[in-house]
Structure 1
Amino acid sequence: MSLVANTGKLAGRTLFITGASRGIGKAIALKAAKDGANVVVAAKTAEPHPKLPGTIYTTAEEIEAVGGKALPCIVDVREEKQIQKAIDDAVKKFNGIDILINNASAISLTGTAQTDMKRYDLMHNINTRGTFLASKLCLPLLKNSDHAHILNLSPPLNMHPYWFSVHVAYTMAKYGMSMCVLGMSEEFKQFNIGVNALWPKTAIATAAIEMLTGDTSTSRKPDIVSDAAYVMLCKDPKKYTGNFEIDEDVLKQFGISDMTPYACDPKNADNLLLDGFLDDPVAIKHHRLAMNNPPVRRYHTSSVNYKEKSEPSGQIPELFALIGKNITPELIKKTQAVFQFNVKGKEEGVWHLDLKNGEGSCGQGEPKHPADATLTMDSNNFAEMFAGKIKATNAFMMGKLKIKGDLQKAMKLEKMMKSLKNKA
């Protein structure tokens, strides 16, 4: 649902949008198309994905259905020739390019040891290099426009170590996009080209995120980002450049105070999952405490199915007793991960949950097999998380949960806990 009315400001303007076949890129394309803009849909998806809807051709049809003109182009932003061909085709069809949206991005929320170099190269080649390359190749055409903008979907340059420690490879790749804003906004001032960055305050419910987490109830719709982008792109590029904007802040300055309509679930409008790279005081306080506290004690005990062990008292043992009774082959096949839990506070100890090997196991002590993800949190928060009172993603972003290892597998835990809770 859009709360920003179309004004026609972008009518006849040509937007070159990378990664525009779905998600935020597509939402921005459709918002501009309602003004009567021309959109170059520059993305890789020419054939339908088995799980993710949308191709460059279906997006082009939607653009034209709302009043815009579209040019679908098969573009891998790692390939210079493909970008240049799309630019040349745009010149032939639309006589130029006014606005470049660098939206294409690859993500892997993994620590240093868990990030293979193929994935590292993919993120840096798409995020940083692809953004630089598309900007470089579009520059001659942007110089000829009287309303030239470059907008990168990238975060503010927050130098707090926390945002590097959790996924340094991804952080560097996204910050590469942001550094393009920092440098090019100054470099291109002489050409009257506005270069800015936009980042969502909360998680955004795209098809990819839904496939990854299986839950968008604490996310906002892509409309909040496309509305903010529209407001930014309608501004005078001669005066508006070098800004690192947050979607909610842009809309508040525009005059929209109630963000509830953007929430996927209005009941969660005040309990949304914060996006990364933002200076959330709770998350930073947690990080500082974690850095100052001594490491948690480690218990070297054998890894066996919990029901085979004697059952000590306390809420954590009770939780693992319930989990142990509900481990199934289906759950193991679906999850394929080993978790270690470092519990602090009243019931300090180390616990494990193996949903990857053999018939699975859970109980006190470290796992027999290497953990894919290690989660550290207070025993009270741990109990609330497994009881479904707080979500793992929310706990992580609020600083109540610290994760080392494969973050994507750790976030699968949320869906698995919901399933276990229902069975329990």
Structure 2
Amino acid sequence: MSLVANTGKLAGRTLFVTGASRGIGKAIALKAAKDGANVVIAAKTAEPHPKLPGTIYTAAEEIEALGGKALPCIVDVRSEEQVQKAIDEAIKKFNGIDILVNNASAISLTQTEQTDMKRYDLMHNINTRGTFLVSKLCVPFLKKSDHAHILNLSPPLNMNPYWFSVHVAYTMAKYGMSMCVLGMSEEFRSHNIGVNALWPRTAIATAAIEMLTGDTSTSRKPEIVSDAAYLMLCRDPKTYTGNFAIDEEVVKQGGVQDLTPYACDPKKADRLMLDGFLEEAASLEQHRASVSSAAGQRRRYHTSAVRRDKNESNSEGQIPSLFAAISKSISPELVQKTQAVYQFNVRGKEEGVWHLDLKHGAGACGAGQPPRPADATLTMDGAHFADMFAGKLKPTTAFMMGKLKISGDLQKAMKLEKMMKSLKNKV
């Protein structure tokens, strides 16, 4: 639900939006379309995803249904050739580019030792290099516009070491986007190109997040970000540049006082999950627990993990009983659907290491480290672990509150959440 009225200021303007086939990128494109803007949908999704709705072509249909004009382009921002081709097509169709929105991004919330270089390269090539590349190639045309903006969906440059310690590779990649704002805003000030950053104060519900987590009740809708982006892009680029804006603050300045309608669940509007990289104490407090867990528990399990053979695992306590129930629920279908190996580092009274193999053969689980390398490792207190499988504690909430630490492949860890839902009635 948009709470910011369209003014028509972007009518006839051409926006080049990366990652605009769904989520926040598409929301920004649709908001501009209501003004009658032209939108270049620069994204990779040309074929329908089996679980995520939306392609560059369906996004184009939605834009034109709202009164805008659309140009869907297959673009991987890592490819200079694809980016240049899309820009050439945009110039041919719309005779220029007025606004660039660098929205495309990759994420992996892993610490140094758990970040494989393939994932590191992906984040840096999409986030930092992709933003720089698309900006570089669009600038010659932005210089010709009388209303030129570059807007990066990236966080404020908060140099608190905390935000590096939790996921240094991801932080570096996102801050690379923000450093583009810092440098380009000054570099292109004389050309009247406004270069700014926008970041959400809370978690934002998108189709991808909903698919991965199954719960968006403590998030806000993408419209708060698109409303903020619209207000920023309507401002005079000659004077509005070099800002690191937060969506909530922007829409409030734009006259929106009641933010409740932006909440996915209005009943939880005062208990929303805060995003990272914020300077406010509440954000640090919500995330800080994960830092101590990452620093202490990872060392403990790396050097002196409590390992037990299956024969040593007894029936006392919740965890052995829990894994006994999980074992009975494993099926070839579940293995085929999940394709991941998990390691569970359990803390507290029932401290130990357990594993769940949903990748090989008919699947297996039990005490001790997995016989094959884990795709994702989850660390948490035994009581919270039992609550999670019983459906009393959502893994996403536990993760953001520091009760659960995930290392390795976050997407595969989120697959486990869906499996938990199917098991909770059996466990």
TM over 0.5: yes
1:175 aligns with 175
Q: 3-state DSSP class of the match of 1:155?
A: coil
Q: 1:33, 1:67 within 8 Å by CA — same for their partners in 2?
A: yes
Q: Is the 8 A contact 2:293 2:402 kept in 1?
A: no
Q: What are the Cα deviations for residues 69-94 of structure 1, in whole angstroms up to 9, with x where unaligned? A: 22333333233343334334333433
Q: Distance in 1 between matches of 2:123 and 2:397?
A: 25
Kindly indicate whether residue 406 of structure 2 is the aligned counterpart of residue 403 of structure 1.
yes
Number of the residue aligned with 1:295: 300
The structure 2 residue matched to 1:386, chosen from 381, 389, 392, is 389
Instruction: Tell me the secondary structure at the aligned position of residue 127 of structure 1.
Output: helix
SS of 1:422's partner is coil
**Structure 2: distance between partners of 1:138 and 1:231:** 22
- Deviation string for 1:96-117 (max 9, x for gaps)? 2221111122344455566554
Change in 2 beyond 3 A, CA 1:325/1:269: farther
Cα distance, 1:311 vs. partner? 0.6
Contact 2:13 2:37 in 1 (8 A): yes
Distance of 2:90 and 2:361 partners within structure 1: 55
CA deviation digits over 1:112-154, x for unaligned, max 9? 5665544443333322222112211222222232322100112
Q: Structure 1 CA distance, aligned partners of 2:347 and 2:227?
A: 43
What is the RMSD computed on CA atoms of the aligned residues? 2.8
Change in Cα spacing, 1:224 to 1:360, as seen in structure 2 (3 Å) is same
Q: Counterpart of 1:353 in structure 2: which amino acid?
A: L
TM-score by length of 2: 0.87
Cα–Cα, structure 1 residues 134 and 388, in superposed 2: closer, same or farther, change >3 Å? same
Matched, 1:423 2:426: yes
Between the two proteins, the alignment pairs up a number of residues equal to 420
Amino acid across the alignment from 2:24:
I
2:343 corresponding residue in structure 1? 340
* Structure 1 stretches lacking a partner, 5+ long: none
Task: Pick one of 372, 377, 380 that aligns with 1:374.
Answer: 377
Query: For the residues of structure 2 that align with 1:123 and 1:140, how far apart are their CA atoms?
Result: 26
Q: Percent identity?
A: 79
- Amino acid corresponding to residue 334 of structure 2 in structure 1: L
Partner of 1:412: 415
Please name the residue that 1:86 is paired with: 86
Q: Distance in 2 between matches of 1:344 and 1:117?
A: 29
Structure 1 residues 299, 87: closer, same or farther in 2, change over 3 A? closer
**Counterpart mapping for 1:5-44 below 5 A:** 5-44=5-44
1:360–1:21 distance in 2 versus 1, CA, 3 Å? closer
1:230 Cα offset (Å): 0.8
Runs of at least 5 residues in structure 2 that lack an aligned partner in the other structure: none
Is the contact between residue 197 and residue 245 of structure 2 (CA under 8 Å) also seen in structure 1?
yes
Task: Give me the TM-score of the superposition, normalised by structure 1.
Answer: 0.88
SS in 1 for 2:418: helix
Q: Secondary structure at the match of 1:295?
A: helix
Alignment of structure 1 residues 105-144 onto 2, 5 Å:
105-110=105-110, 112=112, 115-144=115-144
Q: Provide closer, same or farther for how the CA distance between residues 298 and 114 of structure 1 changes in structure 2, counting only shifts above 3 A.
A: closer
Query: Structure 1 residue 200: deviation in Å?
Result: 2.4
**Partner SS state of residue 300, structure 2:** coil
Distance between the aligned counterparts of 1:113 and 1:290, measured in 2?
Answer: 11
State the match for 2:286 in structure 1. 282
Worse overlay, 369-378 or 79-88: 79-88
Q: Residue type of the partner of 1:39?
A: V
1-structure distance, mates of 2:9, 2:146: 13
